[in-house]
Amino acid sequence: MKTFSIAIHGGAGTLVKGMMTPELEAQYKSALQSALNEGYKLLDDGKSAVEAVEEAVKLLENSHLFNAGKGSVFTATETHEMDASIMDGKTLNAGGVSLITGIKNPVSLARDVMEKSEHVFLAGDGAMQFAKELDYKLEDASYFYDEFRHKQWLDIKDTDGFQLDHATKKDSKFGTVGAVACDQDGNIAAATSTGGMTNKKWGRVGDSPMIGAGNYANNKTCAISCTGSGEFFIRGVVAYDVACLMEHKGMSVKDASSEVIHKRILEIGGDGGLIAVDTNGNIAMPFNTEGMYRGQKSSDGVDDVSIYG
Ligand code: ASP
């Protein structure tokens, strides 16, 4: 049987060991392990890579620990605006949503855009109208309230600044979530979901919902989900860049991912990481920050979650 595998991330950044209590570290690891296990279980049952990445990302969105879904950061107007995307490497079908509010699982709305609309990317009021037509239930603001995230916002709300999730210094930690998977048929998929940046304004959209920037999948090469300084990941077209290095230079998923994260994105001033998988189930999880919440599980027996470098 072909190797099948899944990898997930919950954001990268300055994850200083000393600032993390053992209890919190255990909570992060347990949330990562549950998402990994559920996604893997679907693959083991013969389900598609698309099913597996949606399920894993949904579970991460349901945790208050990560900056996506329930744990999304606050915008400049004390609201939550979420972005998500998903791509199927077999068909190159893709769906993205941005600036959505009140939706418990933005990744599922992205999947509905992919499968139930003729479009790839819906934003703001239009995306909300689409959700309404599909009878999505809207959560009220209290569902997304988290004391820690509210404090992050209070600290910078009267400034022009914006901040990546739980930064210990400005721009130092990203809490976006994502999953990539290779199923038993060798099809791959990627999904990414985020609340964006604390105190963001003017309808700011990052790389996460943008196909090719923060998320990409193509059976010819690999499936990728990114986390990091979104503006740079957009300019570097990071996810597609990894796929291009594989397609045009014949690089492995590990070498291509490493080249982009340790060289090309650094050269233009970006930081963060990504997870990637190829159609043989090989996984790469490079990051150029001190840590990245991450996990991987494969039919070859790999099963681990980790945080630091
Ligand atoms: N890339 C995300 C954004 O810029 C942030 C993150 O990875 O946490 O919206």
Residue 150 banded pLDDT, cuts 50, 70, 90: confident
Confidence of residue 157 (pLDDT cuts 50, 70, 90): confident
C-beta 194 within 6 A of ligand 1: yes
Active-site entry in 101, 176, 192, 279: 176
Instruction: Say how many Å lie between the CA of residue 9 and the centre of ligand 1.
Output: 12
CB atoms within 10 A of CB 54: 25
Stretch 242-262: mean pLDDT = 98
Residue 280 CA to ligand 1 centre (angstroms): 28
- Range scoring the smallest mean pLDDT among 79-93, 156-170, 258-272: 156-170
User: Using an 8 Å Cβ cutoff, are 13 and 172 in contact?
Assistant: yes
From first CA to last CA, the distance across the chain in angstroms is 32
pLDDT of 192 higher than 60: yes
Q: How confident is the model at residue 161 (pLDDT cuts 50, 70, 90)?
A: low
d(CA 45, CA 158): 50
pLDDT tier, 16 (very low <50, low <70, confident <90, very high otherwise) = low
Nearest CA to ligand 1 atom 2: 230
Which pair of tokens denotes residue 101?
């509010």
What average pLDDT does the chain have? 93
**Domains, the chain:** 5-301 (3.60.20.30)
Among the listed ranges 109-118, 162-171, 175-184, 275-284, which one has the minimum average pLDDT value?
Answer: 162-171
Of 98, 164, 234, the one to substitute when testing ligand 1's pocket (max ligand atoms within 8 A of C-beta) is: 164
Ligand 1 mean position to 44 CA, how many Å?
30
Judge whether residue 172 has pLDDT over 50.
no
From the CA of 67, give the closest atom in ligand 1. 8
Q: Ligand 1 centre from 233 Cα, in Å?
A: 9
CB of 11 closer than 6 A to ligand 1? Answer: yes
Active-site residue, 14 included: no
Average pLDDT over residues 129-135: 98
- What is the rounded average pLDDT of the residues 227-248? 97
- The pLDDT of residue 160 is 64
**What's the chain look like in SS3?**
CCCCEEEEEEEEECCCHHHCCHHHHHHHHHHHHHHHHHHHHHHHCCCCHHHHHHHHHHHHHCCCCCCCHHHCCCCCCCCCCEEEEEEECCCCCEEEEEEECCECCHHHHHHHHHHHCCCCEEEHHHHHHHHHHCCCCECCHHHHCCHHHHHHHHHHCCCCCCECCCCCCCCCECCCEEEEEECCCCCEEEEEEECCCECCCCCCCCCCCCECCCEEECCCCEEEEEEECHHHHHHCCHHHHHHHHHHHHCCCHHHHHHHHHHHHHHHCCCCEEEEEEECCCCEECCECCCEEEEEEEECCCCEEEEEEC
- pLDDT tens column, 41-76: 999 999 999 999 999 999 999 999 999 999 998 888
87 lines ligand 1 (CB under 6 A): no
Q: Is 165 in the pocket of ligand 1 (CB under 6 A)?
A: yes
112: CA distance to ligand 1 center in Å?
22
* Confidence label for 162 from pLDDT (cuts 50, 70 and 90): low
**Which residue owns the Cα nearest ligand 1 atom 4?**
230
pTM: 0.95
Nearest to 96 by CA among 182, 30, 2, 194: 194
